[in-house]
């Protein structure tokens, strides 16, 4: 996510300030040594309070270090002295978004927009705030503006495609992902999502093909995604091609060992081919990773039933039922209730 | 969410008649605690008598069936074994039992029978739970609900929507034991059936073939229930253990309508449950060992139904080829759905899925003009309206007209329609298990008027027979336990079969 605001985090070419610590901080920042940079900026601010942009750059350094509360403090302090700084205002919106505070982030972006026109990247974060608020209509509105501002913004196309997909606007989602593929003909995320769309449109053969493309395209990637593997494996499983499903699901769990869904699906595939010990191991792993996953407890119950561990199976079924009831209750009351 | 429909022969003239449930006007907002009432004939329930020429006449008023309250569903059964089908009508705020007087009129006997109930009742089923020869009554209730001015959906003009069932508490069903004297006793707790649910659909079958009738409850957005009859007068929910409570991934879904019938001709009743778009209708294949396999994906139902929302549903062999197909009433529950999800629809065409013996294929496009119209379909009942051996259907719509689907399939396939009459068993023979053997193989069915959604279907058992002109054997296991066999039965006929009480062979 940090890459999204890379533009905002670059160091300005022109410096009005003269402070040794500040200069050292800038050098460290440029070199990517963000921890040392942050230390220098703290010193600079202590030496000459309010005389440099040290607090602003401390905030930027801390963003690179994923210390968003620290960044927020630095930016707010900077903004107290520089209330007209659009750079700081937009960054504050970003760090609030990263702290999962979408409403506050949106308020910050509104303030920032009064100071300077937002970029496509800013609009993207605004949209993602609406996603966090489950308001996909507004998310789509801002993502459409983002791609209008910057038609080559890949992330914006990707998130726009995802937002359309979530709202069931499949044709528009497909167009967005195809746009992304025009910008990068081997974009794994786009092709994987086209697979999801085809699956939703009851075209399993074409969906399988899309997942396989995505897998091929990331073959030499240093950071391959588990998503096309788990999607392919799940679809093959649903299609009754259980043996074929095993390999992609195994690969998915290798790539994402802490993803409960991957383990769950692999466990279900093992169960179908009669490898009950393997199935139990994988599904137990899923329940460890997500103890409140009712579906995982249900699948474990099924496996234990088949291994004649009936008391344990019943306990898992009971646990699944309890979690389902709790989940239904916790979804809460309507807003005006 | 309503209404229901019943296909039954109330005057024993051999032709099916149609009963339609209707609602009542609602003020906006309606004050909490209101029990809506019908304010005029526009809200009456309706009974249509079928004339000999196949047309229908409205006999509601003379039959004494305008009804009361905000009607939901209907269940047909001869609860007093007098040879005339009675009606139980569910509603919000209290249900009604109408006794068929045998002269074209009905009498409201709710108070005497003690089956008025309370809350928001939905589907009901007549079934002899204890095999004492009299039909008992199961009445599902949807939610612990009252009128309340709650806003759900987006806070924009035109976007207000129905609240999700999660916002309300589940509620126990009502189960009435027939006391044989025109009165009933509520026994849900005693029978182990008081588990709170969000029941909408109800279907019966002896899924483990142990001689005791079981039933399935389609719950909205919580685990579905499969009630196993323990044979000692009590029941237990085995939905999760039997693997029919959730989908293949262990997720709950919005269960609406249900049918319980052997679609793959292996002798074991299977289940189909309709639900909302993006959930896939659930098809559970009975493994014969007390468990089921979620077969929506492998049987083709999953992909066919992913973008659809289903309500009334019945297995029915529309083309008489010996394989039970699926007819499904569809349409999303939210009238605002297209504002937020343009690919989903409040009005949808019906779905006709043909069973090829290897799975189901969507043949709606070949089903005629009736499958091209988009309706807000809800209730669905099936039966042979014109006694020509091809099953017809009646579909209700929300805030719209009823549709009678006349089966005009071009087929030379043979058929048989069995009208069972119980003597030691309940007179309707509800719960009887019927199997037939032809040159092509075996088929099974359970006598029932329940199933689908809020609706009640022709109690006669229909079998499509393909090219087989003779049924080699018909085996019946009556609810009383009596077994009966008929041999070399001619096809293409409606055959009345009386329970042989003189020759008991348990």
The tens digit of pLDDT for each residue in B483-498 reads 999 999 999 999 999 9
Write out the two tokens for B152: 């759900």
Task: Report yes or no: B37 and B413 within 8 Å, Cβ to Cβ.
Answer: no
Residue in A152, A161, A206, A162 with CA at minimum distance from that of residue A182: A152
CB neighbours (10 Å) of residue B141?
27
**Pure H helices in B301-412:** 301-305, 337-340
Report the sign of the C-alpha dihedral through residues A271, A274, A276, A278, in that order: negative
Which pLDDT belongs to residue B505?
46
Task: Name the E strands within B331-413.
Answer: 351-355, 360-362, 377-383, 392-397, 403-405
Looking at per-residue pLDDT, the higher value among A180 and B151 belongs to A180
CB neighbours (10 Å) of residue A7?
12
Q: What percent of chain B has pLDDT over 70?
A: 99
Q: Find residue B338's DSSP bridge partners.
A: none
pLDDT of B388 > 50? The answer is yes
Looking at per-residue pLDDT, the higher value among B91 and A333 belongs to B91
**How close does chain A come to B19, measured CA to CA in Å?**
36
Q: A76 exposed, middle or buried (CB, 10 Å; 0-12, 13-18, 19+)?
A: middle
Which pLDDT belongs to residue B47?
98
Phi and psi torsions of A194, nearest 5° = -65, -35
Residues of chain A whose beta carbon is less than 8 angstroms from a beta carbon of chain B are: 135, 137, 167-170, 200, 202, 204, 238-240, 264, 268, 294-299, 301-302, 305, 313-314, 317, 320-321, 324-325, 328-329, 331-337
Q: Whole-model pTM above 0.80? A: yes
> What are the Cα distances from residue B280, in Å, to A205, A235, B117, B306, B345?
18, 14, 33, 5, 15
Mean pLDDT in residue range B322-344: 93
Write out the two tokens for A125: 């974060």
Mean pLDDT over each residue of chain B, to the nearest integer: 96
Which pLDDT belongs to residue A2?
39
ipTM for the predicted complex comes to: 0.83
Which pLDDT belongs to residue A50?
86
Which pLDDT belongs to residue B46?
98
Confidence band for B2, pLDDT divided at 50, 70 and 90: confident
Confidence band for B503, pLDDT divided at 50, 70 and 90: low
Which pLDDT belongs to residue A330?
66
Confidence band for B42, pLDDT divided at 50, 70 and 90: very high
What DSSP letter does each residue of B4-31 carry, written as one string?
-EEEE-TT-SSS-EEEE-------SSPP
Could you tell me which chain A residue has the CA closest to the CA of B251?
A295
What DSSP letter does each residue of B224-267 carry, written as one string?
-EEEEE-SSS-EEE-HHHHT-SS-TTS--EE---EEEE-TTSSS
Which pLDDT belongs to residue A21?
92
Judged by DSSP in three states, A143 sits in helix
The residue ranges of chain A whose pLDDT is under 50 are: 1-8, 10-15, 332-337
Partner-chain contact B150 A329, CB within 8 Å: no
Partner-chain contact B152 A321, CB within 8 Å: no
Buried b (16+ CB within 10 A) or exposed e, B379-400: bbbbbbbebebbbbbbbbbbee
The span from the CA of A323 to the CA of A292, in Å, is 6
Which pLDDT belongs to residue A4?
40
Could you read off the pLDDT of B283-325 as tens digits, one per residue?
A: 999 999 999 999 998 899 998 999 899 999 999 999 999 999 9
CB neighbours (10 Å) of residue B50?
21
**How close does chain A come to B34, measured CA to CA in Å?**
19
Residues on chain B touching A328 (C-beta within 8 angstroms): 166, 221-222, 252
Q: Which helix (H) or strand (E) holds A155?
A: helix A154-166
Contacts of B161 (CB under 8 A, 6+ apart): B152, B153, B154, B334, B336
Mean pLDDT in residue range B202-226: 97
């Amino acid at each position: 996510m940090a890459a999204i605001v890379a533009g905002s985090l670059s160091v300005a070419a022109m410096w009005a300030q003269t402070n040794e610590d500040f200069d050292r901080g800038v050098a460290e920042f440029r070199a990517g040594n963000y921890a040392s940079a942050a230390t220098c900026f703290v010193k600079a601010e202590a030496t000459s309070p309010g005389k440099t942009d040290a607090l602003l750059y401390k905030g930027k350094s801390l963003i690179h270090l994923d210390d968003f509360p620290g960044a927020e403090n630095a930016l707010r302090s900077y903004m107290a002295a520089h209330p007209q700084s659009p750079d700081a205002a937009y960054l504050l919106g970003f760090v609030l978004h990263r702290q999962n505070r979408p409403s506050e982030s949106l308020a910050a972006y509104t303030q920032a927009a009064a100071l300077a026109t937002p970029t496509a990247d800013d609009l993207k974060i605004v949209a993602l705030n609406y996603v966090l608020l489950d308001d996909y209509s507004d998310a789509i509105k801002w993502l459409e503006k983002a791609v209008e501002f910057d038609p080559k913004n890949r992330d914006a196309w990707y998130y726009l495609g995802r937002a359309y997909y979530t709202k069931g606007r499949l044709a528009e989602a497909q167009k967005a992902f195809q746009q992304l593929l025009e910008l990068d003909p081997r974009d794994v995320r786009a092709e994987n999502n086209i697979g999801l769309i085809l699956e939703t449109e009851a075209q399993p053969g074409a969906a399988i093909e899309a997942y396989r493309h995505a897998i091929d395209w990331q073959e030499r990637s240093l950071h391959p995604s588990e998503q096309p593997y788990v999607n392919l494996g799940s679809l093959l499983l649903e299609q009754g091609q259980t043996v074929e499903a095993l390999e992609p699901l195994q690969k998915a769990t290798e790539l994402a060992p802490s993803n409960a869904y991957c383990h769950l699906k692999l466990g279900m595939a093992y169960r179908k081919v009669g490898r009950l010990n393997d199935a139990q191991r994988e599904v137990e792993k899923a329940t460890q990773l997500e103890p409140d996953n009712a579906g995982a407890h249900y699948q474990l119950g099924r496996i234990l039933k088949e291994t004649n561990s009936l008391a344990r199976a019943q306990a898992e079924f009971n646990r699944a039922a309890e979690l389902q009831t709790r989940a239904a209750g916790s979804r809460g009351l309507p807003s005006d209730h | 969410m309503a209404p229901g429909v019943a296909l039954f022969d109330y005057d024993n003239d051999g032709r099916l008649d149609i009963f339609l449930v209707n609602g009542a006007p609602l003020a906006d907002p309606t004050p909490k605690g209101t029990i809506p009432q019908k304010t005029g004939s526009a809200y009456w329930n309706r009974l249509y008598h079928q004339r000999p020429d196949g047309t229908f006449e409205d006999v509601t008023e003379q039959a004494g069936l305008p009804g009361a309250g905000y009607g939901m569903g209907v269940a047909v059964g001869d609860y007093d074994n007098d040879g005339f089908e009675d009606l139980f009508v569910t509603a919000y705020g209290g249900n009604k039992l109408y006794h068929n007087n045998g002269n074209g009129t009905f009498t409201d006997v709710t108070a005497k029978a003690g089956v008025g109930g309370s809350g928001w009742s939905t589907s009901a089923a007549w079934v002899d739970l204890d095999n004492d020869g009299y039909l008992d009554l199961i009445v599902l209730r949807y939610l612990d609900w009252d009128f309340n001015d709650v806003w759900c959906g987006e806070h924009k003009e035109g976007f207000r929507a129905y609240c999700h069932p999660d916002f309300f508490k589940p509620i126990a069903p009502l189960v009435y034991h027939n006391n044989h004297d025109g009165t009933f006793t509520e026994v849900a707790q005693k029978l182990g059936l008081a588990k709170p649910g969000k029941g909408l659909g109800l279907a019966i079958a002896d899924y483990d073939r142990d001689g005791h009738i079981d039933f399935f409850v389609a719950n909205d957005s919580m685990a579905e229930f499969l009630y196993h009859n323990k044979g000692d007068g009590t029941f237990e929910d085995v939905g999760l253990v039997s693997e029919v409570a959730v989908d293949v991934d262990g997720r709950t879904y919005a269960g609406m309508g249900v049918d319980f019938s052997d679609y793959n001709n292996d002798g074991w009743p299977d289940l189909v449950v309709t639900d909302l778009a993006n959930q896939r209708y659930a098809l559970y294949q009975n493994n014969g060992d007390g468990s089921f396999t979620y077969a929506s994906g492998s049987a083709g139902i999953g992909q066919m139904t992913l973008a659809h929302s289903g309500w009334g549903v019945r297995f029915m062999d529309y083309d008489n080829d010996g394989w039970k197909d699926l007819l499904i009433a569809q349409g999303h529950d939210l009238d605002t759905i297209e504002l937020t999800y343009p690919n989903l629809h409040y009005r949808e065409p019906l779905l006709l899925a043909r069973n090829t013996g290897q799975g189901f294929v969507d043949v709606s496009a070949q089903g005629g003009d009736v499958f091209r119209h988009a309706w807000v379909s809800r209730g669905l009942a099936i039966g042979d309206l014109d006694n020509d051996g091809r099953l017809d259907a009646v579909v209700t719509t929300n805030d719209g007209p009823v549709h009678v689907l006349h089966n005009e399939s071009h087929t030379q396939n043979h058929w048989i329609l069995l009208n069972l009459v119980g003597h030691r068993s309940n007179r309707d023979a509800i719960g009887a298990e019927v199997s037939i053997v032809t040159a092509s193989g075996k088929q099974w069915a359970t006598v029932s008027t329940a199933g689908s959604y809020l609706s009640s279907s022709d109690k006669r058992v229909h079998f499509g027979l393909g090219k087989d002109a003779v049924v080699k054997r018909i085996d019946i296991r009556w609810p009383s336990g009596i077994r009966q066999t008929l041999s070399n039965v001619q096809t293409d006929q409606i055959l009345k079969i009386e329970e042989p009480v003189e020759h008991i062979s348990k």
